[in-house]
Amino acid sequence: MSNQDNMEISFDDPKRHSLANRSTWISVVVNTLLTLAQIAAGFFAHSQSLIADGMHSLSDLVCDFLVLIASHHSKNPADEGHPYGHGRVETAASFVLGAILVATGGAIMVAAAIKLQHLEHLPSVAPLALWVALIALVTKELLFRYMLGVGEKLRSPMLIANAWHARSDAASSLVVAIGIGANLLGFIYADSVAAILVGFMIVRMGIVFAWDAFQELIDAGLSVEEVDSIRQTLIDTVGVESLHELRTRRMAHRALVDAHILVNPRISVSEGHSIAEHARKRVLKSHLTVSDVLVHVDPEDDIEHDNNAQRMLGRESLLIHLAPLLEGLPEPKRVVFHYIGGKVEAEVYLPHDFFENGAALVNAEAKVAERLIDNQYFSTVSLNCLVMPK
């Protein structure tokens, strides 16, 4: 296989949907033929385990159609009703796939256990069953290798799950072949025992698929290694002082990230937004499975800062309380408030001509400093000159 064949397909590549569909249709054709051959041969050759394996192949067929339906709907773009897209259609399909496997495997185990209670009524298995079981074994192993390659290339957990389902089929066919062979050697109960083992394997695989899908549906996060890597990417962004909250969740083959970054509390809103955008782009570029990053900018630790912010006055009230501190000064051209440490730092921008008189500036600074003593709202007030191009 060439390097080009091994290359992963982008999530937005138009070929993605067609490749997923083609692999699934190939599985549909193979499982249809195997289902018919196994059930028919099992019936005429009196092999309960081969019929069970045929029912396993039938469950594969149902799962293949689920994959086709899910693949069709999951490719739809985000809309007003589904702002995060339709990726979890795949997750829901994987959960249903697991439930089908558990139900199918359980039914097979019960039926085989009942027949073991009446060994004297069990007929001998014909050699035809062994040949069909061996052919099914080889076919399912080849199908597994093909589907796994496509699933890894597309990075689709649904296709990979379906491929491993095919591998479980190959393993079950191996158990069936051994059971039929033992039955032909005179161990009458071996065929039913093989059917129970096949049923157990189906149930186990179904539980694994359903559990993984369930974890995603309840917004389980990424692995510790993936989260640590994303955290480091954010912290290494220029302007990010620290990161105090990071949440992740899966959306089918993609991931969503929410991050709270701490920046210098005295920078402007626009600069904080710029830092957040740089952090977001770095994560999207470095972690291809991440589809979106929501970055929240904090000047201080959220818990302490939010509690303080709830007690602080709004801008209009602060301007009223700032006026007595600026009494005798020209009307400000601009006022910037920084909410830090439970109080407010005010940046006051005065007309340029006020700063031409050095004595007046020194006097104003002294008066403002005196008025700030024990002030309830303000910790500092800085007087600045606003310079604009002429």
The pLDDT, as a whole number, for residue 169 is: 73
The string over 332-361, giving b where at least 16 C-beta atoms fall within 10 Å of a residue's C-beta and e elsewhere, is beeeebbbbeeebbbbbbbeeeebeeeeeb
The pLDDT, as a whole number, for residue 46 is: 85
Domains annotated on the chain, with CATH? 3-217 (1.20.1510.10), 224-299 (3.30.70.1350), 307-385 (3.30.70)
Which pair of structure tokens corresponds to residue 386? 């606003």
Whole-number percent of the chain with pLDDT over 90: 24
Give the model confidence (pLDDT) of 282-339 as tens digits. Answer: 999 988 888 889 999 988 876 665 666 677 888 899 999 999 999 989 889 899 999 8
Dihedral, CA of residue 42, residue 47, residue 49 and residue 52, to nearest 10: 40
Mean pLDDT rounded to a whole number for the chain: 82
Give the model confidence (pLDDT) of 366-389 as tens digits. Answer: 999 999 998 989 999 999 887 767
Give the model confidence (pLDDT) of 40-87 as tens digits. Answer: 998 888 887 888 888 777 776 776 677 667 666 666 666 676 666 656
Query: What is the arithmetic mean of pLDDT over 186-201?
Result: 84
Residue 3 pLDDT > 60? no
**Residue 4 pLDDT class (50, 70, 90 cuts):** very low
Residue 1 pLDDT > 50? no
**Residue 2 pLDDT class (50, 70, 90 cuts):** very low
Give the model confidence (pLDDT) of 126-135 as tens digits. Answer: 889 899 989 9
- Residue with the bigger pLDDT between 208 and 294: it is 294
H-helix or E-strand spanning residue 122: none
Residue 277 pLDDT > 90? yes
Residues 6+ apart with CB under 8 A from 190: 178, 179, 180, 181, 182, 183
The pLDDT, as a whole number, for residue 30 is: 86
Contact 56, 46 (CB under 8 A): no
For 142, other C-beta atoms within 10 Å of its C-beta total 13
Q: 118: buried, middle or exposed (CB in 10 Å: 19+, 13-18, 0-12)? A: exposed
Residue 237 pLDDT > 90? yes
pTM, full prediction: 0.61
Tell me the three state secondary structure of residue 258. Answer: strand
Sequence-separated contacts (24+) of 330-334 with Cβ below 8 Å = 330/354, 333/386, 334/386
Determine the Cα–Cα distance for residues 120 and 114; give it in Å rounded to an integer. 13
Residues 6+ apart with CB under 8 A from 290: 230, 254, 255, 256, 257, 283, 284
Tell me the three state secondary structure of residue 289. Answer: coil
Give the model confidence (pLDDT) of 101-124 as tens digits. Answer: 888 888 888 878 887 887 777 777
Whole-number percent of the chain with pLDDT over 70: 85
**Residue 26 pLDDT class (50, 70, 90 cuts):** confident
Q: Give DSSP secondary structure letters for 57-99.
A: HHHHHHHHHHHHHHHHHHTSPP-SS-TT-STHHHHHHHHHHHH
The distance of Cα 120 from the centroid of its chain, to the nearest Å, equals 53
Residue 149 pLDDT > 90? no
The pLDDT, as a whole number, for residue 84 is: 65
